Amino acid sequence: MNWKNAPATRYEGHHGDRVVLCFADRPANVDQILRDTVAKHGGRDALIDGDRRYTFSELDKIAGSIAAGLAARGVAPGDRVALLLNNKAEFAFMLFGALRAGCVVVPLNTREQKPELEFVLGNCGAKVLVHEADLADRLPDANVPQLKFKFAVGGDAKGSEPFSALATDGAASKVDFDQEATAVILYTSGTTGKPKGAMLTHMSMVMSAMHYESCWQLTKDDRALMAVPATHVTGLVAILLTMVRAGGATIILGAFKAADFLALATKERMTYTLMVPAMYHLCLLQTKLDGYDLSAWRVGGYGGSPMPSATIETLAKMLPNLNPCNCYGSTETTSPSTIVPLGDGTAHAHTVGLPVPCCEIRIMDDDGREMAQGETGEVWIKGGHVAKGYWDNPDATRANFISGFWKSGDIGALTKDGYLQIFDRKKDMINRGGFKVYSAEVEDVLAYHPKVGEAAVVGDPDPVLSERVHAYILPKDKSVTVEDIKAYCAARLSDYKVPDFVTFVDQPLPRNANGKVLKRALKRDVVAGEGGGMAQSPKSVL
């Protein structure tokens, strides 16, 4: 399909052996996106954070003072600046300020616990950390010797300077950007138990923002509500960076609650957002939905898991101006690889959309041969929007990136009219409300519990979250309880990775001839509801 209003594309050589589709006319880097928008729309709203409002000119000035402050402390281009922040204006200040200084930004999920943070900060070699003051107790005590500067937002924290001390008057020194340089490192949960840092380049971020802007026809008049975390690729690229590119406003929601989302969307006349299907479902559960004026809402993007047909039908009935549009991507593709065009959401609800203008998709078998149209295989993705690899992990980069193609691990097929369908995952991953939970990561934690003999983790189907985390455990000591397991995991894992259900078994876990746990057998047990000893968390955590 020829995307309407899409900028012209061309093939370019990048990252050594890659020849990829790129927009021919594009900003040179992420900082240039902001500078271009300031020149066109400097006086328009850029950020709305509660009672605080900032124009693009104000955002630009703050970013410049932060860049100057970083340089004054000896933070050089290429140094890593980590952000452990909730959704708030300070995240945007730091993103654009650090990038203007030529630094690499490393967003950290605020749900991560001390062991997770210690690994990521050590792996990326962060020199600066900007964090929520009330998360100071999670910061590593040691083992991150290169971390020289810490700044606390929202209060005082022992060992950290106040955020206000970072900015410095004066202009930042001009940085010569390489479009192939890493701009952001986003860590993804690893199938081997340790997360991998996907290196998003200035080029990949620029093109992803342009994909959203052009495919969904976003303009300066759009107002996007950021309800997903800014530390995820969706909040970072699909909302924040895309709105800066389009010249529209980003409305910041600190934490998602359906009633708060609907009230803010009404107050600020939201026109666009991108969320996971569970969030839409929770909005529809609000008994007073008719009381909110959502008439300005025209683009309702969703991804991370399928949207139930009933949800789409209800949205169409209650919000006739809304275009619900699926999209598909990942951290490694800097967000979108496919998008459902406006107006196609209902007719193509069974797909995740068309390849975006600079994306090529191939369906491959296990031997690396392309499958015929309509046949299923692994989805391989290529384009200028694809990350250049994993930080300090050449083995994982070689295994997952081949001549510009990223091997997604998802099983899919292309329809005769070019739409992509996703059927299953090759990777052992649980989709909990749009958050990725790799079984191996949870199993690795459980293996260290002194009372656990064997453990296997699978996904439990859930009508709201898509899946919940279900752990099967053969205990060494039968005095262990469900509460023990959950508390142990909660101290070491993000809250959404903590098992929702725990089943204690009195026989070894089922295994094949090679000794691998037969998780399909466990999943059949889940579906049949035969897992004795299950305990459910009292509330959902999105």
Q: Judge whether residue 508 has pLDDT over 50.
A: yes
Among 277-291, 487-501, 521-535, which stretch is predicted with the lowest mean pLDDT? 521-535
377: number of Cβ within 10 Å? 20
Q: Where are the domains of the chain?
A: 429-528
DSSP 163: G
Whole-number Å distance between alpha carbons of 300 and 326: 8
Q: What percent of the chain has pLDDT over 70?
A: 94
Whole-number Å distance between alpha carbons of 528 and 542: 25
DSSP 101: T
The phi-psi region of residue 204 (left if phi > 0; otherwise alpha if psi is between -120 and 50; otherwise beta) is alpha
Q: State pLDDT tens for residues 353-412.
A: 999 999 999 999 999 999 999 999 999 999 999 999 999 999 999 999 999 999 999 999
Among 142-156, 194-208, 428-442, which stretch is predicted with the lowest mean pLDDT? 428-442
Q: State pLDDT tens for residues 66-112.
A: 999 999 999 999 999 999 999 999 999 999 999 999 999 999 999 99
Q: Classify domain 429-528 by CATH architecture.
A: 2-Layer Sandwich (3.30)
Q: State pLDDT tens for residues 163-203.
A: 999 999 877 788 999 999 999 999 987 555 689 999 999 99
Of 540, 441, 421, which Cα lies nearest the Cα of 492? 441
Of 41, 212, 175, 200, which Cα lies nearest the Cα of 97? 175
- Cβ–Cβ under 8 Å, residues 356 and 373: no
**Averaged confidence pLDDT in the chain:** 91
Of 462, 484, 463, which Cα lies nearest the Cα of 475? 484
DSSP letter string, 196-240: EEEEEEHHHHHHHHHHHHHHTT--TT-EEEE-S-TTSHIIIIIII
Mean pLDDT of the region 241-251: 98
